[in-house]
Amino acid sequence: MEKQSLHRIQSLLEQVYPEGEVTSLLEQIPVLVDRYRSIIQVTEHSMSEKDVVLITYGDQVRREGEFPLRTLQRFLDEQTEGLINSVHILPFYPYSSDDGFSVIDYYAVHPDWGTWDTIGEMASSYRLMFDGVINHISQESDWFKAFLARDPEYVDYFIEDDPNKDYSQVVRPRVLPLLHDYTDVNGQTRYVWTTFSRDQVDLNYRNPKVFLQVLDLLLFYAAKGAKLVRLDAIGFMWKEDNSTCIHLPQTHNLIKAMRAVLAELVPDLIFITETNVPHIENISYFGNGYDEAQMVYNFTLPPLLAYSLLYGSGEKFTAWARSLELPSEEVCFFNFTASHDGVGLRPVTGILDQEEVGLLLKSAEANGGRVSYKTDADGGQSPYEINCNYLSLLCGSEQDMELGVARMILAQAVMLGFPGLPAIYFHSLVGSRNDIEGMQRSGHNRRINREKLDYDQLVAELEEDNVRHEVWPALKRLLKVRQHSAAFHPFGPFQFHDLSPSLIAIQRFSPDRGEEVWLLFNLTPATQEVHLPEGIYTDLIDDAEMSTKQYVRGYKYRWLRKKV
């Protein structure tokens, strides 16, 4: 490794570990990097307006006699018409709970879903995003079993603590206990940190061996074809007495060190941090714009956009969007409206008041959704997440499916036009609705938006006269249009405009500013008149030339290219 890189890594590690441990890490990291140097194949990819991510489970679509991962690739190859070039495969490793996020073996593919060869085949056609579930691991993992067996190698891999201590400052994303008790090989009770559940045991990054092991894992993923890595629940990775145990300086420094090490072999690999927290905390993971995550999940977008559509006003959305600033031209938002999780509510703290959040809760519950809660510092509980399919949520308290479909298509148009990299959840792409039966059968709220689909049945339904057939072609059309305008470049400049309380208006530019587009979204059922700056405009959808005065019909959008 170059001296400059090692010096950078050293300065970061010195802010986390004692001097002797830093010295040891600096001896081992170059050896680790050299071990992967001949294994990792570097393929350069300059991001552009053609980049769109599909978020999906590895077994999202199933077909008899075929590995689900192959069926997934079949869907991509045969149905998406080249409109999606990147795939976020949610944890496809062996797991024990939480639909993949309680990983038993980081280095294996779920045997029922496929093999590393299956992943490799997909990686040859699509840019793959892997999950780095590195805050916690399954209690059924070999690592935790070795810890309970008092194996000296794993004695400090997990965090033991006193259950009688005061943990009131600790930020809690669940109402479950922070510590769980386990019995070791000697019959002794061990109280161990479990931020999310008993089956998800937090790793101990105070042990530099854990950090080195995770570096090995990330390099392994790069060797297996990962071009993007989602750092799951990464804000919780460092624990400190008398603190919130979230977003601590050690966490940021370790992420920066990980990126610096990975950049030695895969400089184009993208880190995306997943921190479902208030906006100002979320964007802290951009670092200075060059040294930490290249992208952060735009967690404010899903709840705030849903509220704006249900309430019929873009004022709150526009005020928030106009405040957005990026620390450099090398970072951007990872935009989405739905995912395997629910719609988080913490990101709209300080943006929506309790009554406004209540509008979202009522709409979700009216359509069969649920609300999950977290434990607050005072011991009380507050809404943490809405568990509801996004289309179902947008049907409103009136349970109006026709209105929900119109809002859903408009919501995806906003997301695809929002500055950054767009990501569409599989169920959003194909117009799915709440899987209430699946949720009730499993007893888990999040299963409401995690239904597994039969491939042949799905393909047939996409062609039938139903909700899927309304959403599917509309989104494919949007995807096709945005591929042909450089103004949709993920890292391109942008501005938000306050043209009307009923509208969201985005002005986007290509990085060289050789192209400019105006995106108008009507959040109400009434036609809106809009006056744009003087110029010549062309509708990107139908290629018609337009004047500066525009009419946007109810729950519709206009994508307009301005002649520069």
Residue positions annotated with a catalytic role: 232
Cβ neighbors of 260 (< 8 A, separation 6 or more) are: 5, 8, 9, 12, 291
The amino acid at residue 297 is: Y
Token look-up 């930490």 returns 292
CA angle, residues 197, 119, 33, in degrees to nearest 5 = 80
Asked whether the beta carbons of 424 and 336 are under 8 A apart, the reply is yes
- According to DSSP, residue 42 is labeled P
d(CA 266, CA 321): 33
CA dist 346 and 374 (Å) reads 10
Report the 10 Å Cβ neighbour count for 149. 13
Torsion, Cα of 219, 220, 225, 227 (10° steps):
-30
- The residue assigned the tokens 């938002």 is 333
Which amino acid makes up residue 315? E
| For the chain, the helix, strand and coil percentages under 3-state DSSP, each to the nearest 5 | 35, 20, 45
CA proximity to 322, closest of 93, 495, 98, 142: 495
Taking the C-alpha atoms of residue 523 and residue 552, their distance in angstroms, rounded to an integer, is 10
- Nearest one of 407, 400, 451, 396 to 425, comparing CA atoms: 451
Crossing angle for the helix pair 3-13 and 19-37, to the nearest 10 degrees: 140
End-to-end alpha-carbon separation of the chain, Å? Answer: 46
Are the CB atoms for 289 and 491 separated by under 8 Å?
Answer: no
Helix ranges (H only) for 338-432 are: 354-366, 390-393, 401-417, 426-429
Is the distance from CB of 328 to CB of 290 less than 8 angstroms? yes
Q: Are 202 and 239 in contact (CB under 8 A)?
A: yes
Assigned token pair, 218:
């990330």
CA atoms lying within 13 Å on the CB side of residue 228: 30
Strands 127-132 and 226-231: parallel
551 with 521: CB under 8 angstroms? no
What pairing do the DSSP bridges indicate for beta strands 270-273 and 295-297?
parallel
Q: Two tokens at 232?
A: 């799951």
22: Cβ–Cβ under 8 A, 6 or more apart, which residues?
10, 13, 14
Residue 503 corresponds to which tokens in the numbers above? 């509208």
* Number of Cβ within a 10 Å radius of residue 195: 25
- Side-chain half-sphere CA neighbours of 8 within 13 A: 18
